[in-house]
Each structure stands twice: as C-alpha cells, then as structure tokens.
C-alpha cells in the first residue's frame, strides 16, 4: 500500500504554518523538561485561552454551562482540560490523552555523599533506558524541594550558558577490557549511575569531619537555595540532558530534543485542543504523569482523578446521577496520543517495514501495542478505525497505520487500555520517533504538523 510523503503535498503557506508550530514546540520542550514544568506551562497556556480552575467552580458552587472552559490541576503533575459542548455531556466526549513524564534519572532521598575526594548524587533511574547512553553527557538538574514549613524551592540548574552542568563518568577504553565483555544491559549498572557534582574541598575547623568536598557542596546549596541536607528527604530532583531542542538534519526537517516521548504528543494534543472554541460535543484533553512506569500513582492514568473530575462537572451541570460518569465515558471516543517507533534503516532487522511508521508520512495510528501475542494491548476495533480513516481523509491529514516492531521482538504499553476499561472507543495515535527513550530523540517536523492537524480533525468530527 503506497502512501505519499507529506512533504510533497505542502504549499508555501503550509510550510510556514508547519515551521511556526515546530518553533513553538521547541520552546515548549525547553521550558517543560519535567512533568511539573510541563503542567505549569500547560496551565499557563490554557489560562491564556480562558480556561478556569475546576476548584473555583466547586468552591463557589458555580453552575457549569455550555461554552465553559475548565482545567483540573492534579497535584501539579497532571492536567485534565474540558471544553463544555452544547450537547448533554452524557452523550460522550471526544478525548485526547498523552503523558508528560519521560525517562530520566532521579535523585534518591538521601543522595549526597563523598567518595575519595569526589562528591556525588546517588540516583535511581526512571523508566526504560539504556543506561550506557546516560554517561559522559552533560546533565541538568530540575525539580522541587519542599521544606518542613511547606516552602517550595524550585530548581532548574544547567540550562543557561553560565550554569554549571553535572554528569556521570565512564571508564577510558584503555582500561575497559573487562567492562566491554559485559552485556549492554549490564555495561553500566544501575547503582553506578551516580552523578559527579564536585571535587573542591573546603577547610573544616572540626578535624573529625573528613568529608570536605561534600561539605563544600552542602554550603553552596545552602547559600544558593537555603536548603539543608535533610531537605532532600522531601524533594523531587530529576537529572535530564542539558541543552535546548534543536533543528536536526542539514535540511532542518527534523527536531532533536530530550523528552519527545511523549511531550511531542502532549504538545500537539494541547495546541489542537486549545485551538477549538465553540463545540457541540464536550471535548477533553488529559495530560498525565507516570506512564513510563506503568501509569501508577495518584498522578498516573490509573488514578481516578479523571473520572472524579467528570463526576464534579456532571454535578455542577445538574446531573448528579451515579450513572452519569459511566454514561459519559461509555459514549466517549479517544485518541491515546503516544509515540511510535519510527522505521530506522540502520536497524531494519527488528522492523516489518510494511507495518512500521515512516518519517514524514504523517500521524501514526497503532491498532495494538502490547508484546508478542498482543499481550496487554488495547487492539482497537475495525469500526472505529474506519471512522477515523474517513475523518483524516476528509480533512486531508496524512496518516499511517503501524505496529511496534516485528512479532516476538518486543512491544510496549500506553494509557489506551485504561480508558478502554471504561468502554471508551480508543486507539493509539501519535508521532514516529527515532532513538526513542535515548537522552536525545528525533522526530519529523511534518509528522508533528500532521499530528496537530489530525487531532483537530478528530476533536471536531468524531
């Protein structure tokens, strides 16, 4: 089945729109390197479009009416947006859902230590990574420290030219004969992903205290952020690749950046959603945390924050029936906006090219994810896919159907199955990515643009 590369259909006007979207996307990535930062930026953009906090409606017992635009901030790490339509909400919603967490390296609760004249942060990696990819690259520190009095100290260190960076060291090849005999998964052990943060000792009056380098680091942290070592007990600090999103390729047809899984779909979903004003059917956009570790926890999709928010909205619309939420979801349709593994000619042995997503060929529908015998997959039904095909074709959106690698090679999971548990019609739909889960991932600008256009078409026509 032959499809045309999307670049070949663009007019000059299309290319201008594409570049505007992709430039704004790079700006989004630069300020949203963690789920907390993404949540803050999402809410900022939503409020600029007139969205209001659901908590204000609840506090004032304010009735929700068609045309109201509402957001739910779930603990500063996940967001749900609602654009209330003129039709009864129990007739269902059109939903876009993506995740805003990405693979990274987290600091442990008691992270600071000294060893033989070097100070380190002890770490635990988050999500599926190739650990050897994270050594020798410059890392930035992002996150929040919450003191006992409730004061929050936000940290973003390593992104400005004047900032220092930190990193994980590696063994020189001259001495690595034994290391190089190891399997790739054990080349760098998880407990060896400790981040070097200092080597300068400070003079200490009390001779019994020997950790002069650690003490110097703690003094610097006290001076800059007014924090003590014990404050790390209530901190969430993430080490991510330092640096900004960049155009990739001599033709500038691609984007290289950290965290495109899955902020490329979060961004395009958000911008498509905010583009729409009046609507007959209620629309929703869910941008959640914890997908990379199984969608668990209060800010993951397994949480009931989304259906709780729907229950609050139904009540404030005058429908407090215990069946209301079930009816809303039972009649809803969703695109689970998540990335797909793009075909890479350098690694063709793990791909079925006919059924792999291709760079530049548009937004990707993935009928099933899971692994091997479709285990753990959503496996969308044919009727729903046929409906989506018509929507995309009618809107002249470039799209493709894909799977995640050859049978029995691997697989993956998304948030799709969780909404399917509520009987929502759902399919995975996102952007193809090269070097997925690596510190720096690559996407096609045309695929980003087509995803944005495809999400608008879905919201307006499903």
Q: Is residue 248 part of a domain?
A: no
Q: Are residues 98 and 109 in the same domain?
A: no
Instruction: Tell me the per-residue pLDDT of 35-80, one tens digit each, with 9 for 90 and over.
Output: 999 999 999 999 999 999 999 999 999 999 999 999 999 999 999 9
pLDDT of residue 404: 81
Instruction: Please tell me the distance from the alpha carbon of residue 249 to that of residue 270, in angstroms, as a whole number.
Output: 26
Task: Judge whether 7 and 360 are in contact, CB under 8 Å.
Answer: yes
Which of 147, 120, 74, 67 is closest to 298 using CA atoms? 74
Q: Are residues 456 and 345 in the same domain?
A: yes
Please give the torsion angle defined by the CA atoms of residues 365, 282, 376 and 442, in that order, rounded to the nearest 10 degrees: 40
Q: Is residue 157 part of a domain?
A: yes
DSSP H or E segment with residue 108: strand 104-115
Cα–Cα distance list, 300 to 78, 87, 272, 294, 393 (Å): 8, 29, 22, 8, 33
- Where would I find the beta strands (DSSP E) of 294-423? 333-336, 340-341, 363-366, 370-371, 399-402, 411-412
Instruction: Tell me the per-residue pLDDT of 200-259, one tens digit each, with 9 for 90 and over.
Output: 998 877 655 678 999 999 999 999 999 999 999 999 999 999 999 999 999 999 999 999
Q: Are residues 135 and 70 in the same domain?
A: no
- Mean pLDDT calculated for residue range 138-154: 96
Q: Is residue 71 part of a domain?
A: yes
Determine how many CB atoms are found less than 10 A away from the CB of residue 111: 19
Alpha helices in 137-258 (DSSP H): 212-225
Q: Are residues 346 and 359 in the same domain?
A: yes
Give percent of the chain with pLDDT exceeding 70: 98
Evaluate the omega torsion of the peptide bond into residue 262 and state whether it is cis, within 30 degrees of 0.
yes
- Expressed as residue numbers, the domain containing 87 is 6-102+258-461
Q: Are residues 65 and 110 in the same domain?
A: no
DSSP string, 111-143: EEEEETTEEEEEEEEESS--GGGGSSS-EEEEE
Q: Are residues 292 and 427 in the same domain?
A: yes
Q: Are residues 97 and 145 in the same domain?
A: no
Question: How many domains does the chain contain in total?
Answer: 2
CATH number for the domain spanning 280: value is: 3.40.630.10
pLDDT of residue 131: 96
Q: Are residues 156 and 278 in the same domain?
A: no
Q: Is residue 340 part of a domain?
A: yes
Determine how many CB atoms are found less than 10 A away from the CB of residue 24: 13
CATH number for the domain spanning 221: value is: 2.30.250.10
């Amino acid at each position: 089945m032959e499809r045309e590369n999307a670049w070949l259909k663009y007019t000059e006007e299309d290319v201008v729109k594409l570049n505007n979207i992709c430039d704004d996307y790079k700006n989004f990535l630069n300020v949203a390197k963690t789920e907390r930062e993404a949540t803050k930026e999402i809410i900022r953009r939503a409020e600029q479009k007139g969205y209001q906090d659901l908590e204000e409606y609840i506090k004032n017992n304010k009735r929700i009416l068609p045309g109201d635009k509402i957001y739910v901030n779930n603990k500063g790490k996940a967001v749900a947006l609602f654009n209330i339509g003129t039709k009864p909400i129990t007739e269902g919603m059109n939903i876009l859902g993506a995740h805003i967490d990405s693979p990274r390296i987290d600091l442990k609760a008691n992270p600071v230590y000294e060893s033989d004249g070097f100070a380190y942060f002890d770490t635990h990696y988050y999500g599926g990574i190739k650990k050897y990819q994270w050594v020798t690259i410059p890392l930035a520190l992002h996150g929040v420290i919450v003191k006992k009095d409730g004061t929050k100290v936000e940290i973003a260190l390593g992104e400005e030219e004047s900032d220092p960076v930190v990193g994980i060291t590696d063994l020189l090849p001259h001495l690595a004969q034994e290391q190089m005999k190891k399997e790739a998964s054990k080349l760098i052990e998880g407990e060896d992903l400790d981040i070097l943060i200092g080597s300068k000792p400070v003079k200490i009056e009390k001779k019994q205290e020997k950790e002069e380098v650690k003490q110097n680091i703690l003094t610097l942290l006290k001076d800059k952020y007014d924090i003590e070592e014990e404050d790390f007990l209530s901190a969430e600090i993430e080490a991510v690749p330092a640096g900004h999103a960049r155009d990739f390729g001599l033709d500038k047809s691609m984007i290289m950046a950290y965290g495109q899984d899955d902020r490329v779909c979060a961004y395009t979903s958000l911008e498509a959603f905010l583009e729409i004003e009046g609507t007959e059917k209620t629309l929703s956009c869910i941008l959640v945390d914890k997908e990379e570790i199984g969608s668990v926890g209060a800010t993951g999709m397994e949480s009931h924050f989304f259906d709780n928010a729907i229950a609050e909205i139904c009540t404030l619309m005058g429908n407090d029936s215990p069946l209301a939420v079930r009816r809303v979801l039972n009649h809803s349709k969703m695109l689970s906006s998540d990335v797909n593994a793009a075909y890479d000619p350098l690694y063709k042995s793990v791909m079925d090219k006919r059924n792999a997503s291709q760079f530049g060929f548009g937004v990707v529908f993935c009928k099933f994810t899971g692994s091997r015998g479709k285990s753990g997959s959503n496996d969308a039904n044919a009727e729903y896919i046929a409906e989506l095909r018509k929507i995309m074709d009618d809107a002249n959106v470039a799209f493709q159907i894909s799977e995640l690698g050859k049978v029995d090679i691997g697989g993956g999971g998304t948030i799709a199955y969780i909404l399917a548990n509520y009987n929502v019609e759902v399919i995975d739909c996102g952007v193809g990515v090269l070097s997925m889960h690596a510190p720096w991932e690559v996407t096609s600008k045309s695929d980003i643009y087509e995803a944005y256009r495809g999400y608008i078409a879905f919201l307006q026509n499903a």
